[in-house]
Amino acid sequence: MFVIILNYKVPLDQVDLVRPTHREYLLKEGMDKGLIIASGAQVPRTGGMIIFNSSSRSEAETFIANDPFFIKGIADFELIEFDPVFLDSRLT
């Protein structure tokens, strides 16, 4: 499992222009395929977080590489792998 941390590199008005495409990508390529457990904006809005359900680092890296925020240079992405010891059954 992975946590993907996004940090915006551009002003929010530029983020907002690409956000609809980014969210569509997250839904179609992440949620619909069971890869994303949760995602959303950081508070305050300086980036975002994704909990990514995969055991493959390569799959997570490919997912990031195809995200419109990555492609358009909107955000930097940090990929952190972790092995959950405790996991709420609602997240499986």
CATH of the domain at 71: 3.30.70.1060
pTM given for the model: 0.92
pLDDT of 88: 82
> Within a domain: residue 88?
no
Within a domain: residue 17? yes
Q: Is 64 within the bounds of a domain?
A: yes
The answer as to whether 91 is a domain residue is no
Q: Provide the mean pLDDT of the chain.
A: 95
Q: How many domains does the chain have?
A: 1
Residues 16-39 have a mean pLDDT of 97
Report if residue 92 sits inside a domain.
Answer: no
89 falls in which pLDDT band (50, 70, 90)?
A: confident
Alpha carbon 75 to its chain's center: 11
In this structure, is residue 90 part of a structural domain?
A: no
Domain that holds residue 11: 2-83
Q: Is the pLDDT of residue 92 over 70?
A: no
